[in-house]
Amino acid sequence: MSAVQTLFETALNAQKAAYAPYSRFKVGAAILADDGKVYAGCNVENAAFPEGTCAEAGAIAAMILGGGSRIAEAVVVGDAALCTPCGGCRQKLKEFSGDDVVIHVANLDGIRRSFTMAELLPAGFELEQKD
Ligand code: THU
């Protein structure tokens, strides 16, 4: 199975686990990290709506906890024509991605479009001082 196909299937499984009783829109994300491991996340909503978290945030947290430090490639899955990462998630992804990292956007049928990080977030904010 190709790396992207593995990421797609992992994201699809994560999507099934999403907790989205308010929007009813489940999202799954899978990241291939620089350590060669795949990390997944799903959206977790909250009755206090802004407290909910996106699938990408969950996958990034899993990556950091699991020992990965940079994103090599990622897939986001939602049952929509084009479930692109929200603005906040673009900034979160940028923290761990070079401009050429590819983020694939999928629905239940497979990858629909692929964007580089620079396409998703041109001129994104960054600070030079990072640990
Ligand atoms: N959502 C994500 O998890 N990732 C995105 O990139 C887009 C939106 C979630 C947030 C919320 O739980 C639901 O989708 C509807 O907006």
The domain limits of the chain are: 3-120
pLDDT digits (tens, 9 = 90+) for 17-35: 999 999 999 999 999 999 9
- Ligand 1 contacts (CB < 6 A) are 20, 23, 25, 27, 43, 45, 52, 54-56, 76, 85-86, 89
Q: What is this structure's pTM?
A: 0.96
Mean pLDDT of the chain: 96
Q: Which of 44, 54, 89 to mutate to test the pocket of ligand 1 (most atoms within 8 A of CB)?
A: 54
Q: What is the model's pLDDT at position 63?
A: 98
pLDDT digits (tens, 9 = 90+) for 65-115: 999 999 999 999 999 999 999 999 999 999 999 999 999 999 999 999 999
- The class level of CATH for 3-120 reads alpha beta
Query: Side by side, which strands form the sheet with 71-78?
Result: 38-42, 27-33, 71-78, 102-107, 110-116
Indicate which atom in ligand 1 lies nearest the CA of residue 43.
Answer: 3
Q: What is the model's pLDDT at position 27?
A: 98
Closest residue by CA, ligand 1 atom 2: 54
